[in-house]
């Protein structure tokens, strides 16, 4: 563990780390400002999976995507931290049709450029209706994993909701006006 708090696993197993923020007033006296304990488990990943909250998204919307570590075929909870102060590997995100959707980093709109190892989490921006395959290729310590997910991009439902409202409320879609009481 570094003085800035970065922990790097050296071998498989578990460890408990206790830390304190202290001020040594004298050789025999100190003030403890805060203290914490963290349990760290170093594991051997078996694969990586793309995690997406949805498989459908509307045009002009953003959706977060992130890489999740797998151990023995099941997702790790909480998601494994795959990045660090020094890059442990790389994450390359691609989409099958850049006209339908694009990948960007969360800080990209602010002019911040992130390295490949720092792209564990990205945003998918839906541009026009269609189907897109999002592909993640990771390389951690020379081990390459690939995962893909299908995302359907749809036109905004706003117009369809208005049409449904008009058809139910006024009977316009069938050409009949509602004659009952509202």
pLDDT of residue 179: 41
Closest by alpha carbon to 148, among 50, 74, 43, 82? Answer: 50
Tell me which residues of the chain have a pLDDT lower than 70.
Answer: 76-88, 114-118, 157-182
pTM over 0.85: no
Report DSSP state, residue 175: T
pLDDT of residue 180: 41
pLDDT of residue 47: 85
pLDDT of residue 19: 86
Closest by alpha carbon to 146, among 78, 103, 91? Answer: 91
pLDDT of residue 146: 95
8 Å CB contact between 99 and 9:
no
CA 89/CA 74 separation, integer angstroms: 21
8 Å CB contact between 123 and 63:
yes
pLDDT of residue 60: 92
Selecting from 2.70.98.10, 3.40.50.460, 1.10.520.10, 2.60.40.1080, what CATH number does the domain 47-160 have?
2.60.40.1080
Question: Domain locations in the chain?
Answer: 13-42, 47-160
pLDDT of residue 178: 40
Residues 6+ apart with CB under 8 A from 175: none
pLDDT of residue 171: 56
pLDDT 10s digits, 41-63: 887 788 889 999 999 999 999 99
């Amino acid at each position: 563990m570094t003085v800035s708090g970065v922990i790097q696993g050296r071998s498989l197993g578990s460890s408990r780390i206790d830390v304190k923020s202290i001020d040594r007033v004298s050789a025999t006296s100190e003030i403890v400002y805060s203290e914490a304990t963290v349990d760290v488990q170093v594991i051997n990943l078996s694969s990586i999976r793309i995690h997406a909250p949805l498989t459908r998204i509307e045009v002009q919307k953003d959706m977060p995507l992130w890489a999740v570590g797998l151990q023995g075929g099941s997702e790790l909870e909480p998601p494994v931290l795959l990045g660090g102060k020094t890059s442990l590997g790389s994450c390359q995100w691609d989409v099958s049709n850049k006209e339908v959707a694009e990948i960007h980093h969360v800080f990209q709109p602010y002019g911040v450029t992130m390295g490949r190892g720092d792209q564990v989490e990205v945003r998918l921006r839906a541009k026009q209706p269609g189907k897109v395959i999002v592909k993640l290729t990771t390389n951690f310590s020379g081990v390459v994993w690939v995962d893909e997910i299908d995302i359907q991009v749809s036109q905004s439902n706003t117009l369809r909701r208005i049409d449904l409202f008009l058809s139910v409320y006024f009977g316009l879609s069938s050409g009949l006006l509602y004659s009952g009481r509202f």
